[in-house]
Amino acid sequence: MTNWMIAYQGEPGAYSEIAALRLGEPKPCETFDEVFAAVENHEADYAVIPIENSLGGSIHHNYDLLLEHPVVIVAETFVKVEHCLLGLHGSSADSAEKVLSHPQALAQCRNFFSTHKNLRAEVAYDTAGSAKIISAGGDPAKLAIASKRAGELYGLEILEENLADEEWNITRFFCITHADNPVSPHMIKLPETAQQKTSIVFTLPNEQGSLFKALATLALRDIDLTKIESRPFRKIAFEYLFYIDFIGHRNEPNVENALRHLGEFATMVKVLGSYGVIA
């Protein structure tokens, strides 16, 4: 089977790389903008982007980028975030002074810091990147919070596991490809799950009851809404984009009818993709 190039944001060992490894050959990028550019410029066949975390909520910048670039969602996957305390061999949480990690990871480990007053949190650009910094720095007084895989890749010792405040810390990723790519079984092994999901984005006229009417297009056809998110529309002040996920494929008759109905009064409707889950 062809080994497709999968762009992701972060260093090797990042949670995004764990998602990318499920699909093909990971291609690291520094920023999310570079990830989308890699797909748009055909430098990568696909990309995985985190879209929401069970503790931290939605990654808003990626919602904006989905609208700005010619991409389509072809799958989703979920990665359990398991933060580990990593250090050089011989390091200790009791004798160290600083802990580096991505700001969201640091925020998810507040209880750990409250019981280790000697440790000061320091923001790094990436969880795996913090492990890379510690490995290269050679300072036992500095530790990192990152994945177990990052510790293995950068030769660090796992000092503690399960650092997050909550046990269920899961990140949802979208797998995206260029909108012009023919999605077929001969490309990536896409999920053949019975239950498909569709993501759309739309704008509405600033009229009384417009959002109610939009949601009614789904409710009247017994379409199960799984998420709704509003974002400021950057092109018009105080206008909003509505991102919606619901159960069903865009080609199903009831979904087609709902989208056609929505398009009769929405000022813009875009289908971001219909997709299943990759385990």
> In angstroms, what CA-CA distances link 201 with 64, 113, 227, 266?
10, 39, 12, 10
Q: Per the residue annotation, which of 112, 173, 202, 246 is the catalytic one?
A: 173
Active site residue 32: no
Angle between helices 60-68 and 32-40 (to 10 degrees): 20
- Collect all residues with Cβ–Cβ distance below 8 Å to 17 and sequence separation of at least 6: 8, 10, 11, 26, 28, 128, 149
Cβ–Cβ < 8 Å for 49, 31: no
What CA–CA distance (Å, rounded) separates 146 from 17?
Answer: 12
Assign residue 138 a region: left if phi > 0, alpha if psi is -120 to 50, beta otherwise? left
Q: If residue 19 lies in a helix (H) or strand (E), which one and from where to where?
A: helix 15-21
Pairing of strands 57-58, 157-160: unpaired
The CA-CA-CA angle for residues 95, 100, 106, to 5°, reads 105
Cβ–Cβ < 8 Å for 66, 178: no
Active site residue 127: no
- Collect all residues with Cβ–Cβ distance below 8 Å to 178 and sequence separation of at least 6: 39, 40, 42, 70, 71, 72
What CA–CA distance (Å, rounded) separates 109 from 106?
Answer: 5
Q: Per the residue annotation, which of 77, 112, 127, 171 is the catalytic one?
A: 171
Cite the active site residues: 171, 173
